[in-house]
Amino acid sequence: MTERLSRIFAEIPPCKTFADIACDHGYIACEMLYSGKCERAVVSDISEKSLEKARTLLAPYIKDGRAQSFVSDGFDNVPKTEAALIAGIGGTLMAEILKRAEREDKLPDTLVLQPMKHASKVRVFAVEIGYRIEKDFTVKAEGQFYDIIVLKKGKDKLSKEETEFGRTNITERPLAFREKMREEIGKLLSYTESETMTDKTRAIMLKKAERLKKYV
Ligand X SMILES: C[S@@+](CC[C@H](N)C(=O)[O-])C[C@H]1O[C@@H](n2cnc3c(N)ncnc32)[C@H](O)[C@@H]1O
List contacts with ligand X (CB under 6 A). 21-24, 45-47, 50, 73-74, 87-89, 93, 97
Q: Which is nearer to ligand X, 50 or 168 (CB)?
A: 50
Please report how close the Cβ of residue 208 comes to ligand X at its closest, in angstroms: 30
CA distances from 32 to 58, 96, 130 (A): 11, 26, 26
Q: Which is nearer to ligand X, 52 or 156 (CB)?
A: 52
Residue 190, class by beta-carbon neighbours within 10 Å (0-12 exposed, 13-18 middle, 19+ buried)? Answer: exposed
Residue of minimal Cβ distance to ligand X: 88
Read off the amino acid at residue 52.
Answer: E
**Strand-strand pairing, 15-21 and 144-153:** unpaired
- Whether 177 and 165 have beta carbons less than 8 Å apart is answered as yes
Q: Which is nearer to ligand X, 52 or 128 (CB)?
A: 52
Please report how close the Cβ of residue 93 comes to ligand X at its closest, in angstroms: 6
Q: Which is nearer to ligand X, 148 or 181 (CB)?
A: 148
Please report how close the Cβ of residue 90 comes to ligand X at its closest, in angstroms: 9
Please report how close the Cβ of residue 115 comes to ligand X at its closest, in angstroms: 10
Please report how close the Cβ of residue 54 comes to ligand X at its closest, in angstroms: 9
Q: Which is nearer to ligand X, 53 or 66 (CB)?
A: 53
